[in-house]
């Protein structure tokens, strides 16, 4: 038996055409059919690709790895948010979250198993980095989720790379996955509908703007270096001055803005002075501020800011003309909210974190 070495979902449309036509000697229409099955019809089993010949399907099944991750668990929040724990061929696992809204459906996609950033307020940060996800493992989160939600009449219109991991620490795989997701003959999710979230890997952040042209969200959380050094340790390498410079260099298209994520932590970063410093920091940068009520997780030493403090903070920032939104809590009851994602199994650890 041949080893199954080919990951179809890791290939761009051009690479798939080269494999099918140049390497395998098939007609070009076969590559187009296969691409359509993968990204338009969202079929995850070669045997279901019924307009391909039996001989061609047999060849695909012989050498190609599975087209979809394995679902280890599925949880549904009372607000409709859905979370899957997905397992890959080596047994490593990540969480992927679908957030339905009236006019759109957003998928929160992971880019790493675990995370190396160790931000102390983030549950994912308590799981050490195990490995980067491959291009196919990123793409398959999208194809799997879209097939699931569309089968029941919902929509998947937006992608946020805000799940487990720092996307820019896995840049090559993330960039290629985004290009596959963008392809207009397949998933066709446009640049305005994809957001990459980073904690501030400044050189790659600017590169992503030129390479991909997608939206950018920056996990800020404080505009005081001493505080941000603690909350977002990568600040010790790329401090607030470097981050601001990178944000100003990011090539924004049209009337787009950079989104700044700001988790509200009681007594840490939620004072009126913090709000005024934030306004000063963002001056001259097209910006939208997302104020995120802290989502507690087991063992965290942090507490969420009160609703009154968050509203006061919003008023100070918003009254200067900056678009400032208090993010609605979604999926908190199933630990699917911002900062709560964590793979059920770490390397060598089979304990569950889900109830």
Which of 1-10, 57-66, 239-248, 275-284 shows the lowest mean pLDDT across its residues? Answer: 1-10
Least confident stretch, 87-91, 97-101, 251-255: 251-255
Whether 351 shows a pLDDT value over 50: the answer reads no
Nearest to 180 by CA among 329, 300, 328, 40: 40
By C-alpha distance, which of 48, 177, 18, 59 is closest to 112? 177
pTM of the complete model: 0.91
Question: Which whole number is the average pLDDT over 19-24?
Answer: 96
Q: What are 134-156's pLDDT values in tens digits? A: 999 999 999 999 999 999 999 99
pLDDT tens, position by position, 170-219: 999 999 999 999 999 999 999 999 999 999 999 999 999 999 999 999 99
Take residue 329 and report the two structure tokens written for it: 């809590």
Give catalytic status of residue 338 as yes or no: yes
* Tokens encoding 235: 């600040």
Tokens for 279?
């306004």
| pLDDT at residue 60 tops 70 | yes
> Residue 341 above 80 pLDDT?
no
Whether 62 is catalytic is no
> Tokens for 24?
């395998």
Question: Do residues 138 and 353 touch, judged by C-beta distance below 8 A?
Answer: no
pLDDT band with cut points at 50, 70 and 90 for residue 332: low
The single residue of 95, 140, 166, 346 carrying the catalytic annotation is 95
Per-residue pLDDT at 236 exceeds 60: yes
Task: Report whether pLDDT(130) > 80.
Answer: yes
Whole-angstrom distance, CA of residue 41 vs CA of residue 34: 10
Of the pLDDT bands very low, low, confident and very high (cuts 50, 70, 90), residue 331 is: low
The per-residue pLDDT for 122 is 87
Nearest to 111 by CA among 195, 51, 183, 206: 195
Provide the Cα torsion 238, 194, 253, 261; round to 10°: -40
From the candidates 108, 115, 122, 338, give the one annotated as an active-site residue.
338
What domains appear along the chain, each with residue ranges and CATH number?
Answer: 8-63 (1.10.150.530), 70-334 (3.20.20.70)
Residue 321 is encoded by which pair of tokens?
């003309």
pLDDT tens, position by position, 281-329: 999 999 999 999 998 888 889 999 999 999 999 999 999 999 999 987 6
pLDDT the model gives residue 345: 43
Query: What's the mean pLDDT when you consider all of the chain?
Result: 91
Which helix or strand (DSSP H or E) is residue 100 part of? strand 93-100
Q: Residue 348 has what pLDDT?
A: 37
Q: Which helix (H) or strand (E) holds 59?
A: helix 54-63
Gyration radius of the chain's alpha carbons = 21
Q: Which region holds residue 4: left if phi is over 0, alpha if psi is between -120 and 50, else beta?
A: beta
- Predicted local confidence at residue 3, as pLDDT: 66
Q: What angle do CA 337, 116, 146 make, to 5 degrees?
A: 45
């Amino acid at each position: 038996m041949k080893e199954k070495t080919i990951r179809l979902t890791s290939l761009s449309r051009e690479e798939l055409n080269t494999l099918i036509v140049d390497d395998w000697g098939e007609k070009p229409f076969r590559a187009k059919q296969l691409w359509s099955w993968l990204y338009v019809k969202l079929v995850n089993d070669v045997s279901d690709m019924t307009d391909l010949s039996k001989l061609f399907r047999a060849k695909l099944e012989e050498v190609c790895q599975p087209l979809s991750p394995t679902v280890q668990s599925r949880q549904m929040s009372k607000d409709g948010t859905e979370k899957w724990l997905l397992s890959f061929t080596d047994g490593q696992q990540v969480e992927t979250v679908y957030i339905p809204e009236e006019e759109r459906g957003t998928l929160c996609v992971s880019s790493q198993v675990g995370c190396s950033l160790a931000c102390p307020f983030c549950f994912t940060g308590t799981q050490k980095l195990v490995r980067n996800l491959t291009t196919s493992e990123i793409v398959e989160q999208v194809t799997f989720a879209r097939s699931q939600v569309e089968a029941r009449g919902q929509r998947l219109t937006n992608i946020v790379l805000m799940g487990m991991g720092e996307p820019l620490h896995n840049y090559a795989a993330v960039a290629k996955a985004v290009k596959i997701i963008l392809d207009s003959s397949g998933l066709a999710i446009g640049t305005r509908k994809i957001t990459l979230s980073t904690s501030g890997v400044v050189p790659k952040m600017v590169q992503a703007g030129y390479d991909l042209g997608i939206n950018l969200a920056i996990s800020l959380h404080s505009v005081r270096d001493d505080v941000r050094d603690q909350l977002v340790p990568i600040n010790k390498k790329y401090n607030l001055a470097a981050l601001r410079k990178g944000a100003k260099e990011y090539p924004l298209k049209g009337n787009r803005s950079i989104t700044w994520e700001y988790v509200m932590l009681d007594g840490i970063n939620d004072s009126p002075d913090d709000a005024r410093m934030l306004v000063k920091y963002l001056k001259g940068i097209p910006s939208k501020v997302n104020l995120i009520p802290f989502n507690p997780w087991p063992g965290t030493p942090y507490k969420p800011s009160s609703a009154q403090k968050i509203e006061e903070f919003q008023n100070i920032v918003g009254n200067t003309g900056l678009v400032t939104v208090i993010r609605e809590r979604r999926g908190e009851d199933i630990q699917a909210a911002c900062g709560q994602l964590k793979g059920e199994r770490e390397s060598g650890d089979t304990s569950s974190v889900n109830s």
